[in-house]
């Protein structure tokens, strides 16, 4: 009998240890009994990254999916973000000897496995119960940078812990309360975030028609927004934007620069004059973006503005680029047009919904494979080679203005 009791006690101890290890390594769940986000946890098969949107629409509740997918008004700018890449061609090269291209690079002193990082996006908990903590786990496993939104549905602590020491940047929507800004920047510093992304293109929310039709309100809290600023659960994005500081000027860049030693990335640049202003105000990098077509409809595609912004920047600071990137050729064309790295948002969230952190890894793995294929066919052995390649405007066969 004593021997049986001893064996049972040993088994109990083993079970408790296994449970504790599993608990410590799993991504935190977003507590929410009303909104049923995905809880999938498996690798996903990706044949074409565009397929993920339809697949994700079948498992993310409609309000949440439309918020993630949607753009402003008629979504013309959102659609142009991707179609604009078709206006230039990559001329194939042969006899180059290129094989197994090196796609690694660095940005702001951080080495990454590919020239693609995760863009900041609100409320990953709409897509998956692990929320940004799950995304951070997948991004870290992919060897690149996780950008964390102020409007994340995981806490900064949870996201940092899930990243297990991998590089993360914190995206800041300035509050009207200076003390709140100081506190959250200090928290990001203390948790090991490597840069502050100051988003400047959202003084008001865009006219997002799908959200209005759905009467979409966030079904979960955004815990990094202090409740004394605004109670986020049950609010729409426009009201949340309205609670932030909306009269931004170059002095805000200077002020943030004055209270942190972290590099400042100014996100939402769509005009070369604004890039110049940001650099003169102290920006350590500029981020060319039209917010994924979610702010001003009728604006140019981000890719259309990238070359003229890169020309003005003239390599004084690094350029991050987003909006519409879906495949290897888009990454290649953006880098050839002046970007140092690109960022992706929606595909990462779709991957999270479809497979949890493993789905995020699969998205980045697909892009790695696709980029290597494009580089091989274009004769580029590394990222610096891409920067020296001239794209061919499609209008070269007819009379047209120079792009």
Catalytic residue annotation: 291
Instruction: Write the DSSP symbol of residue 59.
Output: T
The DSSP-derived string for 310-378 is HHHHTTSS-EEE-SS--SHHHHHHHHHTT-SEEEE-HHHHHHHHHHTHHHHHHHHHHHHHHHHHHHHHH
Q: At 250, list the tokens.
A: 């170059």
Distances (CA, A) of 324 to 172, 193, 295: 22, 26, 14
Q: 145, 169 in Cβ contact below 8 A?
A: yes
Measure the CA–CA gap between 265 and 71, rounded to whole angstroms. Answer: 24
> Which alpha helices (H) appear in 58-147, and where do they start and end?
62-69, 76-83, 131-141
Q: Residue 202: CB partners within 8 Å, gap ≥ 6?
A: 173, 241, 244, 246, 268, 291, 295
**Radius of gyration in angstroms for the set of CA atoms belonging to the chain, rounded to a whole number:** 22
Roughly how many angstroms between the first and final C-alpha of the chain, as a whole number?
A: 86
Q: 151, 291 in Cβ contact below 8 A?
A: no
The DSSP-derived string for 203-231 is SS----HHHHHHT---SS--TTS-TTT--
């Amino acid at each position: 009998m004593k021997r049986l009791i001893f064996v049972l006690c040993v088994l109990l101890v083993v079970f408790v240890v296994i449970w504790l290890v599993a608990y410590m390594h799993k991504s935190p769940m977003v507590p929410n009994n009303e909104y049923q986000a995905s809880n999938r946890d498996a690798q996903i098969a990706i044949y074409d990254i565009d397929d993920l949107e339809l697949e994700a629409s079948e498992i993310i509740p409609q309000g949440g999916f439309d918020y993630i997918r949607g753009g402003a008004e008629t979504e013309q700018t959102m659609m142009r973000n991707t179609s604009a890449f078709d206006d230039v061609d990559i001329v194939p090269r042969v006899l180059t000897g290129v094989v197994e291209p090196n796609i690694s690079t660095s940005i702001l002193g951080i080495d990454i496995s590919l020239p693609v990082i995760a863009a900041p996006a609100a409320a990953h908990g709409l897509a998956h119960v692990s929320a940004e903590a799950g995304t951070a786990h997948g991004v870290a496993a992919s060897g690149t940078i996780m950008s964390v939104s102020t409007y994340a549905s995981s806490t900064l602590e949870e996201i940092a812990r899930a990243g297990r020491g991998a590089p993360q940047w914190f995206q800041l929507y300035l509050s009207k309360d200076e003390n709140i800004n100081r506190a959250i920047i200090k928290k990001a510093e203390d948790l090991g975030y490597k840069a502050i992304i100051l988003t400047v293109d959202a003084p008001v929310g865009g006219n997002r028609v799908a959200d209005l039709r759905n009467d979409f309100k966030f079904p979960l809290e955004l815990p990094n927004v202090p409740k004394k600023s605004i109670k986020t659960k049950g609010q729409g994005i426009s009201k949340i934007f309205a609670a932030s500081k909306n009269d931004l000027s170059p002095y805000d860049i200077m002020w943030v620069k004055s209270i942190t030693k972290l590099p400042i990335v100014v996100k939402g640049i769509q005009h070369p004059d604004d890039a110049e202003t940001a650099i003169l105000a102290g920006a350590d990098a500029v981020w060319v973006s039209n917010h994924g077509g979610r702010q001003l409809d009728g604006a140019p595609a981000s890719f259309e503005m990238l070359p003229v912004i890169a020309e003005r920047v003239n390599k004084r600071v690094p350029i991050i680029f987003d909006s519409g990137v879906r495949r290897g050729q888009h990454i290649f064309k953006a880098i050839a047009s002046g970007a140092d790295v690109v960022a992706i948002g929606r595909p990462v969230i779709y991957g999270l919904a479809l497979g949890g952190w493993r789905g995020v890894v699969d998205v980045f793995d697909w892009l790695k494979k696709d980029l290597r294929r494009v580089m091989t066919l274009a004769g580029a052995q590394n990222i610096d080679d891409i920067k020296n390649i001239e794209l061919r405007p499609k209008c070269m066969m007819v009379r047209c203005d120079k792009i």
